[in-house]
Structure formats: structure tokens, C-alpha cells
Structure 1
Amino acid sequence: MTEQVAALKNDSRECFNEVYESHHTKLYQYIYSRTQSSYLAQEVVQLTYIKLWETRSRLADDLPIDIQLFRIAKTTLIDELRKESVKLKYNNLVSNSAELLYEDNQLTDKDTLTHVYAAMENLPAMRKKVFKLSRVHGFTYKQIAGILSISPKTVEHHISKAIKQLRNSIKMFFFLW
């Protein structure tokens, strides 16, 4: 058993610090040469030392610490690259799904709007006039009553009936769609 492995197995923080100081730069350069990413190299080196400390009791007695340290780093790098790959696939999937949903919603909105306009055209003549003056042109009930020479209560009645009729038409549209 090497002295460093034995010391680490005996929970020696001094030995851990010594291993860290003597191998940190080499380990960082090794990972950086494989990834060309300083962020990923820093992450993998940090995770490597965490794993070294957490698994110190299971270190091989017959292998030098540097070989074991680099093995831990290599498997940690592979794990991190797999995680990144999964994230990229997931992000692409989410992005593509969002685009498809947006396009579907655009079509749905367009179809719904087309259906609402068609349903408005199917309203009885006076109800259609009152509804368009109110909802399309923005006139108040009192103004519509003055334009069409009817009472504001009649305008309110026509609007109420038009909304109910359009609501039923839209419900049927979504039920069939």
C-alpha cells in the first residue's frame, strides 16, 4: 500500500491537501485538453476531488494515488459529458416542441377567429348590426340605441342573445375540432 493511499484511508486531511496541491494543475490541464472548456475542466476537477474524499476508504492499495485520481477524473468527465448531452437533447426537444405548439396555437387561433367571424355572419340581421357596432366599432349601448332608433334595453337584449349564440357556436366548433 502506498503511503498516500494509506493516509487518505486514515482520513488524513493533510495528505488530501498534499495530493490536491501536487496534482491539481496536471488534472486541470488533462481535462482541459480533452474538452477545451475551462468551466468544464474546473467542474470536473472539483468533482474529482470530492469523489476522492468520499471514496477514500475504497481506494486500491496497490495503485499509486495519481493513477486512481486520473481514473476518477476520467469517469467524472464521461459522466459530465453524458449529462451535457442529455441536457442538449432535452433542450432541443423542448425548443422544438415549443415551436410546434406555437405554430399549432397560431393555427388554432386563426381557425377560431375565422369561426367566430363566420358565426357572427350567421346572426340575425339586427342582432349582427348591434353586436358589430358594440364589439367591433366600440360604440356604447346608448350610442347604438341612438344610431338604430331603438331603446338601450333592446340593445342590451340583442348583445346578450348574440353572445349566447356565439358562445354556443364556439363550443360546437371546439367540440367538433
Structure 2
Amino acid sequence: MPNKIALRDIQLIDRLKMDDETALSSIYKEYWEQLYMSAYHVLKDSQACEDIIQELFIKLWNNRYSITINVSLKAYLYASIRYEVYRQIRTGTVRGDIYDDVLERIHTPAAYDNIEYKELTEQVSSIVNTLPDKCREVYKLSREECLSHKEIASQLNISTKTVENHLTKALRQLRTSIGSVFLLQILFLFIKK
């Protein structure tokens, strides 16, 4: 026997298929804010997130007759958000510094105690280890030690412009090496259910 959540999901989807607009409204009211915050956590762009959420609910309504949900409604909606955020990043629809932001979050202390997160950090570390010595050192001081450009410049006895150049080079190499599949894995970790 399905649990209450699963039964409620089935009932909401059945109501959608019967053109019940209040079912869509119920789904919207229950999940809009959570979905928005999940997308915003990655994109940091209010308008893009609002557009993504609006488009999701339009698609949900337009595809109501053919929709088949094999998981919970919540999991279905979050997966839809993940893929749309990924598509927007991949196509360049949103800011280009998303990669940099995601890469920075990998190095911040967080409650990511799962195997996927550890694998991703290992992959980033392996890419960082291929960087030229000075570039790698600047990157690690910036991302792992959280030093400012000025602090790094002082510590390494180089100009802040040189620090910026090394970081730009490191981030460019990471973006190139990461590829879209890796970015999708990262998004699955950062967009929470």
C-alpha cells in the first residue's frame, strides 16, 4: 500500500489529468519556494530562477495527459529543475561565472559527507595537480586556504595582478577539464531535495 505522500502524489497527478487547475495550484503552492531556492542556490539569478520555475509548471500543465511519474512528485520536480539549470549553464543562458562559483563551493567546508562529493573533490584535486607549480600554489592558497588576492601576493612576493592571472588560468583549465557531465554531477549534489 502506498504511503500518504505517494498516494497524495498519485491523486494530484490524476486530478491534473482531469484538467483540475486546483491540483496544479496545490503543487505550485507546496513546491514553488523550495524549487526556486534550489535553483537560486546554483544560479544566483532571481529572474532566471523565476523563469525556470514558471516554465516547469507550464510544462507540467501542458504535458498533464502524458505525464508518468515513477518516483515521488517532489523528486520529479527537483530532477526537472536540475536538468533545466544544467541546460541553462551548458547553453550559456546564465552567467558564465557559475563554473567558478560551483568550483569554489567544492572547497568550502560543508556537510557533503557522501561518496559522490568525495569523488568530485578528488577529480578537481587531480585536475589542480596538473597545473603549473605557481598556478597550482595560487589556486590552493585562494580556494583551500581562503586567502585574498592581496594576501597571496604578499605571501608569494608577486603582484595581485599575477595572482589574478594565475587564478584565471587555473579556473579556465578546470572549466575545460570538467566538461558538462562533471558539471551535471556537481549540480545533482548542490541542488537539494
TM-score (ref. length: structure 1):
0.44
| Structure of larger gyration radius | 1
* Alignment TM-score, normalising by the size of structure 2: 0.41
